[in-house]
Amino acid sequence: MSKVEDFLTPEEEQEIVEAIRVAEKNTSGEIRVHIEKTTSIDAYDRAMEVFHLLKMDKTELKNGVLIYLAVKDKHFVICGDKGINDLVQNDFWDCTRDVIVNHFKEGNFKQGLIDGVLRAGKQLQKYFPYQDGDTNELTNDISKG
């Protein structure tokens, strides 16, 4: 088994998917998690590639957020689309990153992702509150590379 397959159990993955669903209930923002074993390029650059491959840049309000992990490399990136970045300060994702890092340091990857997703949802809600008629533009499933 690769590191990606060992990283989370199917049950843990479903808990993270549920956290995404809950986080998106109060925001029009879209949150995705992508996990892969390693990357041969800079983690941020790879996260941006994945962001585009997952068509996260195609949301109506440009308010997608990706939590990207390269498991073997021990790298993760949180990146948001133009609609978010145009509105928020540069340190907007620092609190979300810190929540994830604290759990990851303890080896609690599932809870780090759940808490990070829920925190991202709360952050998005400030700028992109849920509106009547909002649709889920992107799947909540965890993608893997």
Question: Is a pLDDT exceeding 60 seen at residue 121?
Answer: yes
Residue-wise pLDDT tens digits, 130-143: 988 888 999 999 99
Residue-wise pLDDT tens digits, 37-95: 999 999 999 999 999 999 999 999 999 999 999 999 999 999 999 999 888 887 888 98
- Structural contact between residues 35 and 145, judged by C-beta atoms closer than 8 angstroms: yes
Phi, psi (degrees; rounded to nearest 5) at 71: -60, -55
Residue with tokens 């965890």: 142
Burial class (CB in 10 A: 0-12, 13-18, 19+), 33: buried
- Structural contact between residues 56 and 85, judged by C-beta atoms closer than 8 angstroms: no
- Which helix (H) or strand (E) segment holds residue 70: the answer is strand 64-70
- Structural contact between residues 101 and 68, judged by C-beta atoms closer than 8 angstroms: no
